[in-house]
Structure 1
């Protein structure tokens, strides 16, 4: 075979391969496009090993190739065997004619793919190319100018006058554009008339397009790495090793670290890819506050068991069946554990099954009780499955991701998995590891080079602070898209704005097309739907340092315009479309870095902080309602419902379908209760027909003649739109009393007979004000009764309720101003009726409506809890 050339011509020369036929002649050229991949023409392969270049099946057989220019003065490389990896035969229209080869061993160290670039207008660009025509197996250079594309979209090559003609031996050679400084195509054909010296090249994008895996963007931007991206995952080898070791020795492994440190990517692209290669069966689930713990676990187990070989007529139990069995603490859980234990025997030794609870930190933050319950179920299942599998076997292992601040509560010494769990803490990348993450993936991108000094500049700017990784990944994605001639330049880095400007630049470019006012309004609604407050809810509603976190929502819960917008933005990597536990499509922000580093989004969220805090509370109430099977007792009532209706009316586009359903169900319940109250009041009226009582509007207290307050029950005034506390029924007046009271009648028909109850102003509770003077006398209320009046100083319409209906530790909303007195002298116990803003805390700061039967005036109750 041939010797070395005197001039290696830089990266172009070191990328070129010779393809030899069985007679020891050069059949044509090719060039390196990946670590072990090379491109050439289909007809060159056919000439080397036989076969039809126009037939669909690729020739089956090994080829012999070498690198004639390695930069090594000792000569060409040793021969290397190659096989056809991708094949596009010559098509009837003349296109095609591309073959991608896979080398059986690595290319020589000096060999490398050349810079490659898709070229636009190339007319009169100079080119040069190295070929191996007959009798010149060591190679010869030719040059000329590029013209334009013709019918096959091949680009014409015009050889230089009196220069070397481009003939058959040049087929498969890379064409170097001297102005662009990169390979822009591959020689495919030449004219038979040597006096003309005209040839053609296949554009480089068509060459690489023959194998879609050849030219992927090796950087992930704001998206996490998955198992399929493990080849591009660099810089975490030590951490992957620690994690593999932890999983081998502990059934529960919690991966912790700050947001943006790369927890999910480490688990998926590092740990899970390695475990799956070792034979483990893997299922992933992302727990949601709206889904009961056992349902989330059942969904993951169903996928895990479905991956095992079928042992009967079905492939495995359904999620519903598993959820039902997990709902018990007896033998049913044991039966699930027995099926899980079988995984240890069905796979490779020690492989078993692995459950990945991704973003577990979100469940821990929004619903700690559900998080603890899920961990309790996991611990029980691990214990039972281990017992069923036998000593020394670990049929089930669980990996979850947690923020650092969640560890103390969920993995406390007395927690549900404390004895089983270990923690792997993930730190931000140091400089050496971050360098690997930057330059490592470039080896998978044909011809990608960093300008001298640029990698060090990126490392200087990135530092070692938490959250660095998504910023750098976003930067690298932008640099990849702006590479010039295969090189990442310092100029591009400067235009982007460096590390700190990468996220902002990506986001702003993605939304640049949405310039209309309506489009921007929809953008704001969508992005604020995808975030929630992650700080103290009692803080100021416009605090610039407030924290926010991502919020995942169902796509089918969005209005159609927002749903389409979310799908469009997913293509730009700002959003990620996935699936929830129930399989429904979901959308979420691609990374927390968007919230932390994109000023526009940060401004929107800060301006809306008060609304977002309210909506976060609504989400929590909605989740409790869903988990409890939509229990009526967990619907909104009174002031809470009034506020929800007001918010929904003012900002209908900022709510999901689930919000609207919840608020609508709450309205329906209130309407039904009001209808029932109308019926009860009607019965009272019938029972007391013909009798009229006078109730003094000057107050219960006063002259001695009025010290004994009347204790009748009448309907709430239609003028004020009042109603009794939800959950309580009006009782008939004491028949022993000789007084009754007049009151405005209820609406004659259902709750829609008057619009006033739905008026937010009518439903809003009065704000607590300065205390009125103590009444001259305590209003009377029968023993073991609780009484409400609708006006100041225990006047207006009065409602009396028995203790068995009123005595409760649950929070009850009152949509009207209430005055109450309670007398429980028969028990001698201290009784209190508290009025608070939220019912979340009943303590020293709560206003006490009545104590030991002594009523206190001027309490505007928004919620009450009787203890």
Structure 2
């Protein structure tokens, strides 16, 4: 990957959900780039629902000035990594903004020659979405690298190396069993990471990760389920309702693709839930402490952002799957109404008001969910 970007100004890193794409780029490629003074690395961004705002945050000026920013930077080479690039399709509902985002990025790639390199990290199942944007699709087709599943030997090292670094021992039978259990599991790396973290919590005192502890946790398939259920069941009834709404709000419904995480600012999340803010923040802290939810405070952003810890939760936690599948139509209607309301607020025009069928859907939703 490092050799590839030496001779190009665009690279698409593709792969299945949970197979380590982001880790390869962040811990591999960017680490290598930092070893040389030739490269200046911009903050890694994700598109979010407002990709132009995310881009502006990375460069510290309006997104439309990206090319000017690149030309002014006193560096030989400049790299921008956009992780979870699929968010531009799953979270951004403004077609015009999406097109403008693509146009600005591709214009910068074309005009800045080899001074600027754009790296996009995306789930491979969103390639068909990109095919609808000819210039972007052509770039991806010509400059891509596929992150494949790790081999058994690589997985074995991924399990054992961290334990060596912190002075822990791990039973050989445990390693062998974990390799069998992760084989063929969708999004297996996040599941493996979560399981190893829980094992460490259980076994740290004895400095040995054991097969018996692994069995007690529920193995790869059950550790996440058992852990998430345990956290949820320990909450009060009011906090459980709040947690349910938090997870639903932080999930983006897939359209012909798996459900994914949905990042929101913490104030927006609190407002959307219509619960007592103190209760929402209290529940959030418990979910963060349990590694089910993560928060971050991006540079130059006015408020923290909140996200589900990893897509494995949206795909493997039965409780969340039940909430989503049982309320899928209502969630979709709610999101559509929110998007319509936002458009009206932006335009303040009668033409932006709901009419006909869409108005009736909104009225029906209000009757049954408020």
Q: Go from structure 1 to structure 2 and tell me whether the alpha carbon gap of 1:624 and 1:246 turns closer, same or farther (over 3 Å shift).
A: farther
Q: Does 1:594 align with 2:335?
A: no
Q: Does 1:380 align with 2:107?
A: yes
Cα distance in 2 for residues equivalent to 1:459 and 1:619? 44
Contact 2:109 2:116 in 1 (8 A): yes
Q: Go from structure 1 to structure 2 and tell me whether the alpha carbon gap of 1:263 and 1:583 turns closer, same or farther (over 3 Å shift).
A: farther
Contact 1:533 1:616 in 2 (8 A): no
Listed as ranges, the matches of 1:40-439 within 5 Å are 243-279=1-37, 280-282=39-41, 283-289=43-49, 291=50, 293-302=51-60, 319=61, 322-323=62-63, 326=64, 337-343=67-73, 346-347=74-75, 350=76, 352-367=77-92, 369=95, 370-386=97-113, 394-410=114-130, 414-416=134-136, 418-419=138-139, 422-439=143-160
Q: CA deviation at 1:417?
A: 6.5
Contact 1:567 1:577 in 2 (8 A): no
Cα distance in 1 for residues equivalent to 2:82 and 2:130? 14
Q: CA deviation at 1:549?
A: 2.1
Q: Which protein is richer in strand relative to its size?
A: 1
Q: Does 1:525 align with 2:245?
A: yes
Contact 1:621 1:634 in 2 (8 A): yes
1:424 match: secondary structure:
strand
Q: CA deviation at 1:459?
A: 0.5
Listed as ranges, the matches of 1:676-687 within 5 Å are none
Cα distance in 2 for residues equivalent to 1:521 and 1:413? 41
Among 549, 552, 562, the residue aligned to 2:263: 552
Aligned to 1:534: 254
Q: Go from structure 1 to structure 2 and tell me whether the alpha carbon gap of 1:466 and 1:249 turns closer, same or farther (over 3 Å shift).
A: farther
Q: CA deviation at 1:474?
A: 1.1
Cα distance in 2 for residues equivalent to 1:552 and 1:598? 18
Cα distance in 2 for residues equivalent to 1:639 and 1:413? 30
Q: CA deviation at 1:582?
A: 4.4
Aligned to 1:137: none
Listed as ranges, the matches of 1:578-589 within 5 Å are 578-579=296-297, 582-589=301-308
Aligned to 1:755: none
Cα distance in 2 for residues equivalent to 1:608 and 1:526? 14
Q: Go from structure 1 to structure 2 and tell me whether the alpha carbon gap of 1:591 and 1:631 turns closer, same or farther (over 3 Å shift).
A: farther
Cα distance in 2 for residues equivalent to 1:496 and 1:411? 43
Q: Go from structure 1 to structure 2 and tell me whether the alpha carbon gap of 1:583 and 1:397 turns closer, same or farther (over 3 Å shift).
A: farther
Cα distance in 2 for residues equivalent to 1:510 and 1:295? 35
Post-superposition Cα deviations, 1:239-265, rounded to whole Å, max 9, x if no partner, equal: xxxx21222222121111111112222
Cα distance in 2 for residues equivalent to 1:630 and 1:377? 28
Cα distance in 1 for residues equivalent to 2:347 and 2:28? 39
Cα distance in 2 for residues equivalent to 1:564 and 1:249? 50
**TM-score w.r.t. length of structure 2:** 0.86
Cα distance in 2 for residues equivalent to 1:403 and 1:493? 30
Post-superposition Cα deviations, 1:222-278, rounded to whole Å, max 9, x if no partner, equal: xxxxxxxxxxxxxxxxxxxxx212222221211111111122222212222221232
Cα distance in 2 for residues equivalent to 1:338 and 1:477? 44
1:360 match: secondary structure:
coil
Q: Does 1:644 align with 2:362?
A: yes
Contact 2:19 2:149 in 1 (8 A): yes
Q: CA deviation at 1:407?
A: 1.9
Listed as ranges, the matches of 1:684-703 within 5 Å are none
Aligned to 2:288: 570
Q: CA deviation at 1:583?
A: 4.2
Q: CA deviation at 1:366?
A: 4.2
Cα distance in 2 for residues equivalent to 1:339 and 1:469? 37
Cα distance in 1 for residues equivalent to 2:246 and 2:160? 36
Contact 1:259 1:467 in 2 (8 A): yes
Q: Go from structure 1 to structure 2 and tell me whether the alpha carbon gap of 1:595 and 1:630 turns closer, same or farther (over 3 Å shift).
A: farther
Listed as ranges, the matches of 1:446-461 within 5 Å are 446=167, 448-461=168-181
Cα distance in 1 for residues equivalent to 2:23 and 2:151? 17
Contact 1:285 1:296 in 2 (8 A): yes
Contact 1:428 1:467 in 2 (8 A): no
Cα distance in 2 for residues equivalent to 1:354 and 1:360? 15
Q: Structure 2: any 5+ residue segments left out of the alignment?
A: none
Structure of higher RCO (CA pairs closer than 8 Å, 6+ residues apart): 2
Of the two, which has the highest radius of gyration?
1
Contact 2:260 2:314 in 1 (8 A): yes
Q: Structure 1: any 5+ residue segments left out of the alignment?
A: 1-242, 303-318, 327-332, 387-393, 537-545, 653-867
Contact 1:431 1:464 in 2 (8 A): no
2:294 match: secondary structure:
strand
1:406 match: secondary structure:
helix
Q: CA deviation at 1:637?
A: 3.9
Aligned to 1:440: 161
Q: CA deviation at 1:647?
A: 3.0
Cα distance in 1 for residues equivalent to 2:4 and 2:340? 38
Q: Cα RMSD over matched residues? A: 2.7
1:453 match: secondary structure:
helix
Aligned to 1:26: none
Cα distance in 2 for residues equivalent to 1:412 and 1:517? 46
Q: CA deviation at 1:436?
A: 1.1
1:439 match: secondary structure:
helix
Q: CA deviation at 1:577?
A: 0.8
Q: Which protein is richer in helix relative to its size?
A: 2
Aligned to 2:187: 467
2:80 match: secondary structure:
strand
Post-superposition Cα deviations, 1:35-85, rounded to whole Å, max 9, x if no partner, equal: xxxxxxxxxxxxxxxxxxxxxxxxxxxxxxxxxxxxxxxxxxxxxxxxxxx
2:206 match: secondary structure:
coil
Contact 2:233 2:240 in 1 (8 A): no
Q: Go from structure 1 to structure 2 and tell me whether the alpha carbon gap of 1:376 and 1:472 turns closer, same or farther (over 3 Å shift).
A: same
